[in-house]
Structure 1
């Protein structure tokens, strides 16, 4: 499959085995394997384009944003290169797979219409889903459509935007067939949804009459597809119209791929086995759902082995574990108002026995790296999943509502029972939603990348009726610099309050920034923004402090001993205090100066999934030993060792406080331990029975309200009684 004379490159940890696309210039697709033999499809520019700093940065930025593309018809992004890689790349998790151009060669020409319509259905669904969430693909072409046994998948997100800065004529787009680029994008216009409709129609016609030109495409049956190729974007149908036309045309029974294509995919799989005979099977890193038979109590720890988490998994799980935990006086008051009448709980019949779950709610398919949960007003839990968002009553476990038009990349508590939600699309739209009813109160699209010169790249925080977010401006063109700024926006007035420039690349925008793990923070008068990006020039972790009211930059400080890529605890507090996991242990220091106040020795690191109540911090280390720390003085009233630290030495330890503050819930991959917050004594342990993925995986205690703690094991949510 590899083009003659084309050397297979090594792209960081990926060894490219063979090039899978044919023809074309500028961007190529490779079958590649990691050091452990795990296979992927990797897309990367050639050295000529990679040597152009402007193109290199634009390619990397688009690849990073493509992580937000999920669902049917979209190739799942496995990994993206570092922004500083000499050759940027994006790896897709879909094997075996071949580009449509290669498939047509293997088949010997055009595909039968029923096959084309069946392949087009998931692609049209993916395009419509993207447009619904403010995202424009701008890279659909025969080369960027991968054919697998499960159907067609889109890759190549943003290749048109990467080709040249907006306003610059695009004579050619690396990695994209010339016929796929609509006239307005070729002229330099910003890609918009009608351009995706044009490109998808071209791809389908290309497959039906292989190697057709745009002029010849007009003779292919299908009035709808002909309309999609209109030179005027306003004359093209919308993505939902194209999807409906494909649904009407597709046969009721999908008879699969032609024999020649299936053989080509089998051949790729066989060559891969010959190249990497010991390649391990890839096992999805997901928790198992629990049914009533699998929920059980346990008096001792499980010995289930655990695998080391990635930094991304650490940060994301930290976000889930800390959402709504330290509730404060206002939150506790809300819980008391909305909670059902309290009754004295009967004593457990057997001391140390975990209470049985009160309810369990099965959930739709969720991505373990991006799943979002948020407890609002102590009674409604919002859950984001791959196809939308739903609301659950935490006292009954009943679903209140579900929306498939709200795909969240970030959920924040906006107060008054409302949630501020950032779209899972191209980092632009955000909306205010009533948690109890699911009603959308308003949407803001001024900062969408398809409309604004500076598009929203991610939410930072919300407090006091104001939301802060980061915007990026790629209009600098070939210079390669991405302008970045922090924006304050009034939720009540629905207008921008101020905008302050940040160093280029200071904030990482490929994934949502999270609190307590190198994320943003809001104090009484300051907004703290952490250097989670690749720019800024710092070697250590750093904060920039902005005045909340005016956006004026107050100070910038680096903190020795806290790695820039730290996944440990980073907790700024009022009183000019920063508590953080450092190379020497858990350290308290002066926030504005970095001067050390106290240090507490811990094993390995202080986990970001800590719980805080007033001045008492409960935190676990590498061995899952829980320490109670007075953050004013650094004194440690008590420590409790985990019953089985060896089997859990590299696992996460989620930490949640009950609403009363009397019980600490410590989660690991094997069990949930309830500790008395006064002295650290173990009250009970909860583990799961069952087989397969559900064995020994109770989930993570993610939130608490009066009398309950909510446990999430990805496939289901259940409630345990506490206090």
Structure 2
């Protein structure tokens, strides 16, 4: 429910423009907000009065971590967050669909097939969360959003690590009484089995319109939860033996989430196929209403010292281009995927604030507005000759680096992890319609984006699998993540299950023959791409693998033999790691989390670690010329330069200024400056004086930079901006 902004709500926060309130409580306020690039988000903020409470801050950080773990398939994508800010905030995608309780109020009890599909999806979401050691503890209908692509679990405000009772006083009950487990009702540990109990209550509500223990005062509900049998009135007969055991008072008697997935639904069809028409219509209505909403601000109370504020600028008319920006998986965007995605060459989008260059900052040579794909599908832009290759909602597109001119877009390749380059040529996996057609790798014609004749055709490998990834091109060699065709594969087989025997294979592009094959025996996580980063360095191929817990493992492969050299967990978030290039040289692999670490390339052992005084976190590192650069999360978040050989501190940025985002994107290093990316724009730190030489205040979400053709090109989820590389000018602070 959208409500007007209060008279004392800010106009913007953390680079987002506030449009309306979505909710308000003791912890803080949730806003409907929009980024400069047009991305609509739910922005959750912590109330200033409790921001100084360490326990509240810890809860907020855990909520952010849990939301990242569950990911965009089962939850709301975390667009950005800063739990360390003076006033912590969390921005997630604005989910296009109603909460489950609203859906039941609108449509009445859902049909059995809807409840089964809903339950299987929610059980799968909880399984992913529990595999990471996290329990939700407050699953209820209002925390389940129903979209056309499946339900999403939100609000991890009291989620915590399983077995961790530090944030819960002994004997206290945290959660919602009507859907609370018996053990939670008496203040005991709420394990994964407690989430199963709550899930059964949610599904009972979906199927009948009432909860398992009725309504009333919290004390009455808690008594019923502990001692009364659940009310299964109205529950379809076939669901009673499935949900009944989930509501057992003894946690040991409840089935697991994996059991529920198997018993509730076979997985046939799309989720939307199982929803009633009235609910689908409500989802579509909300998808358009978010852009038709006209923001308002309530006046100050009578006698308030602050003058009444004027209405917020009216929302722009709904357009096809803006519908693309609602979310990366917008229901409405699917009907317009073939539309043009590039805006005018030098005109600003109305939602993009004007740039006012600061100090000696260079003026932009060109600027393009582009509707990019969702963050999970965006990938890192590629430099191929004098062209930039980026992923939009229409597929892979090419931009002329010197002018920003769009060359082509919307070719047959849709995902960034399907393409790779050697710097001069661009290749892609050309998917097959049937498994036994084999796997094909084809070069992309850089003139028009069309696929050329396959350079590799391998009949033994399943070219239909959605999990296939073209990992990289190293000279004449193409590296892939793929799997062989199995006897039991049918024409419809395209799944990504671990039983497929996934492997890393390499092929010669000149002969088309397979060179090496390394079979992987790890379980395949539900989120893709599985491999989130690749870097070839000499005889080593370094791969970052997403794990089931949402973390990252590194695998080093010998490029000559295709054998694994070593593998180790890195303690990184997979989505964060995917945004940045792998930092590696001949001696070490460099990573950063609570400290900056160097692992020996020979055996994976830790060569050194660097951690400054009172520093608890570091942003992703970059290495160049035997120096490692990273941003530390303390105070104003200074850039530090560390010896790649010894781990000794070489220098720290002078007079740093914090503006957010510094811990999201790795620095970019040139010959004269090291470029630090933040919410305020692009900051150039002089390598000689260690001071800010200039700040280009371009409002770009997740600003990152590429150096090519004498240009520094900033790429985000909004405008793409080209600056002259390292312009002359004295350093200034």
Instruction: Give me the TM-score of the superposition, normalised by structure 2.
Output: 0.54
Secondary structure of the corresponding residue to residue 241 of structure 1: helix
Distance 2:101 2:513 in 1: 48
Secondary structure of the corresponding residue to residue 558 of structure 1: coil
Q: Offset of 1:395 from its aligned partner? A: 1.6
Q: Offset of 1:118 from its aligned partner? A: 1.7
Which residue is 1:530 aligned to? 631
Q: After superposition, where does 1:542-691 map in structure 2 within 5 Å?
A: 542-545=639-642, 548-549=645-646, 551-553=647-649, 555-558=651-654, 570-571=668-669, 590=687, 594=690, 608-610=705-707, 618-621=709-712, 651=720
Q: 1:182·1:231 contact (CA, 8 Å) conserved in 2?
A: yes
Distance 2:601 2:191 in 1: 27
Question: Structure 1 pair 243/2, CA: closer, same or farther in 2 (3 Å)?
Answer: same
Which residue is 1:143 aligned to? 142
Which whole-Å deviations, capped at 9, do the CAs of 1:361-388 have from their partners, x for residues lacking one? 999889xxxx99544576234579x979
Which residue is 2:368 aligned to? 307
Q: Offset of 1:279 from its aligned partner? A: 4.5
Which residue is 2:221 aligned to? none
Q: Offset of 1:419 from its aligned partner? A: 2.8
Question: Structure 1 pair 620/163, CA: closer, same or farther in 2 (3 Å)?
Answer: same
Q: After superposition, where does 1:273-352 map in structure 2 within 5 Å?
A: 273=292, 275=294, 278-281=316-319, 282-284=322-324, 307-308=368-369, 320-321=381-382
Secondary structure of the corresponding residue to residue 278 of structure 1: coil
Is 1:407 the counterpart of 2:530? The answer is yes
Q: 1:55·1:163 contact (CA, 8 Å) conserved in 2?
A: no
Which whole-Å deviations, capped at 9, do the CAs of 1:269-324 have from their partners, x for residues lacking one? 6865353663444354799xxxxxx9xxxxxxx9798634799999x989543799
Distance 1:264 1:527 in 2: 51
Q: 1:130·1:425 contact (CA, 8 Å) conserved in 2?
A: no
Distance 1:247 1:26 in 2: 37
Aligned residue among 242, 253, 256 for 2:260:
242
Q: 1:160·1:173 contact (CA, 8 Å) conserved in 2?
A: no
Q: Offset of 1:545 from its aligned partner? A: 1.7
Q: 1:166·1:188 contact (CA, 8 Å) conserved in 2?
A: no
Question: Structure 1 pair 303/278, CA: closer, same or farther in 2 (3 Å)?
Answer: closer
What root-mean-square deviation, in Å, do the aligned CA atoms of Structure 1 and Structure 2 show?
6.5
Q: Offset of 1:265 from its aligned partner? A: 4.9
Distance 1:304 1:394 in 2: 42
Q: 2:553·2:569 contact (CA, 8 Å) conserved in 1?
A: yes
Q: 1:20·1:31 contact (CA, 8 Å) conserved in 2?
A: no
Q: After superposition, where does 1:175-186 map in structure 2 within 5 Å?
A: 179=179, 183=183
Distance 1:211 1:157 in 2: 21
- Of 424-433 and 226-235, more deviation after overlay is shown by 226-235
Instruction: Give me the TM-score of the superposition, normalised by structure 1.
Output: 0.54
Q: Offset of 1:255 from its aligned partner? A: 5.5
Paired residues, what number? 539
Which residue is 1:461 aligned to? 583
Question: Structure 1 pair 432/16, CA: closer, same or farther in 2 (3 Å)?
Answer: same
Q: 2:545·2:554 contact (CA, 8 Å) conserved in 1?
A: yes
Q: Offset of 1:553 from its aligned partner? A: 4.3
Is 1:395 the counterpart of 2:509? The answer is yes
Q: 2:23·2:31 contact (CA, 8 Å) conserved in 1?
A: yes
Secondary structure of the corresponding residue to residue 119 of structure 1: helix
Q: 1:56·1:88 contact (CA, 8 Å) conserved in 2?
A: no
Q: 1:117·1:250 contact (CA, 8 Å) conserved in 2?
A: no
Which whole-Å deviations, capped at 9, do the CAs of 1:613-669 have from their partners, x for residues lacking one? xxxxx5215799xxxxxxxxxxxxxxxxxxxxxxxx9635699xxxxxxxxxx9xxx
Question: Structure 1 pair 234/433, CA: closer, same or farther in 2 (3 Å)?
Answer: farther
Is 1:380 the counterpart of 2:478? The answer is yes
Which residue is 2:611 aligned to? 501
Q: 1:409·1:424 contact (CA, 8 Å) conserved in 2?
A: no
Is 1:156 the counterpart of 2:155? The answer is yes
Q: Offset of 1:233 from its aligned partner? A: 6.8
Q: Offset of 1:212 from its aligned partner? A: 1.7
Please list every run of 5 or more consecutive structure 2 residues that lacks an aligned counterpart in the other structure. 214-224, 295-313, 330-337, 339-343, 348-366, 387-421, 423-445, 456-462, 483-494, 726-733
Distance 1:414 1:186 in 2: 56
Is 1:430 the counterpart of 2:553? The answer is yes
Q: Offset of 1:253 from its aligned partner? A: 9.3
Which whole-Å deviations, capped at 9, do the CAs of 1:69-123 have from their partners, x for residues lacking one? 545433334454675363624232333x222233334445x53432211222333
Which residue is 1:94 aligned to? 95
Distance 1:237 1:2 in 2: 38
Q: After superposition, where does 1:248-287 map in structure 2 within 5 Å?
A: 248=266, 256-258=274-276, 261=279, 265=283, 272=290, 273=292, 275=294, 278-281=316-319, 282-284=322-324
Distance 2:65 2:105 in 1: 31
Distance 1:312 1:559 in 2: 36
Distance 1:121 1:303 in 2: 47
Is 1:485 the counterpart of 2:595? The answer is yes
Q: Offset of 1:146 from its aligned partner? A: 0.5
Distance 2:36 2:552 in 1: 39
Which whole-Å deviations, capped at 9, do the CAs of 1:391-418 have from their partners, x for residues lacking one? 6747278998999447244445576444
Q: After superposition, where does 1:19-34 map in structure 2 within 5 Å?
A: 19=22, 26=27
Please list every run of 5 or more consecutive structure 1 residues that lacks an aligned counterpart in the other structure. 288-293, 295-301, 326-334, 336-351, 450-454, 472-483, 514-518, 612-617, 625-648, 656-665, 667-723
Which residue is 1:119 aligned to? 118
Distance 1:194 1:224 in 2: 15
